[in-house]
């Protein structure tokens, strides 16, 4: 169950100084290799009693250096984020043997008050 990743070593000295630029590079590479759902990220939130939960959401874009996703205002994640804005996300592109980890605070932007809660976090 364990693969060898020796053909995709991570040379830290070759990484972009700005992690967003590095994300952009890898995201484009993921698109080039037709990665399955390259914009899918696992989003972690925390409940009132400190219990973490994860689910997949789709990245809608990066705006002003912030990762944007949409969700329903009534969803569990929206309620948890309303109570505790701390969140984390990971992208995983198996075709590239790469993951990106993000930690930050969510910011809420209301575009469609009836349906969606676009959220950005930095």
Of 11 and 92, nearer to ligand FMN (C-beta) is: 92
Q: How far does Cα 106 stand from its chain's mean position?
A: 11
* Residues with Cβ within 8 Å of residue 103, at least 6 apart in sequence: 86, 87, 88
Q: What are the beta bridge partners of residue 57? A: 41
Written as six digits, the tokens of 112 are 């469609």
For the chain, the C-alpha Rg in angstroms (whole number) is: 16
* 56 binding ligand FMN? (CB under 6 A): yes
57 binds ligand FMN (CB under 6 A): yes
What residues pair up with 89 in beta bridges, in sequence order?
A: 43, 102
Shortest distance, CB of residue 102 to ligand FMN, whole angstroms?
Answer: 15
Site size toward ligand FMN (CB under 6 A) is 14
Counting contacts by CB under 6 A, is residue 69 touching ligand FMN? yes
Residue 30 touching ligand FMN (CB under 6 A): no
Q: Please, how many CA atoms are within 13 Å of residue 104, restricted to the half-sphere of its CB?
A: 15
Report if residue 70 touches ligand FMN, rule: CB under 6 A: yes
Residue 43 CB, nearest approach to ligand FMN (Å) = 8
Residues in touch with ligand FMN (CB under 6 A)? 37, 40, 53, 55-58, 69-72, 75-77
């Amino acid at each position: 169950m364990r693969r060898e990743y020796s053909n995709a070593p991570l040379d830290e000295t070759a990484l972009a100084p700005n992690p967003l630029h590095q994300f952009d590079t890898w995201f484009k590479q993921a698109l080039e290799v037709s990665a399955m759902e390259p914009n899918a990220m696992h989003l972690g939130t925390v409940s009132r009693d400190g219990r973490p939960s994860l689910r997949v959401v789709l990245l809608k874009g990066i705006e002003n250096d912030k990762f944007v996703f949409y969700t329903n205002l009534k969803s569990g994640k929206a309620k948890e984020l309303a109570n505790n804005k701390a969140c984390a996300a990971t992208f995983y592109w198996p075709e590239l043997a790469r993951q990106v980890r993000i930690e930050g605070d969510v910011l809420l932007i209301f575009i469609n008050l009836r349906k969606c809660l676009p959220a950005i976090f930095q």
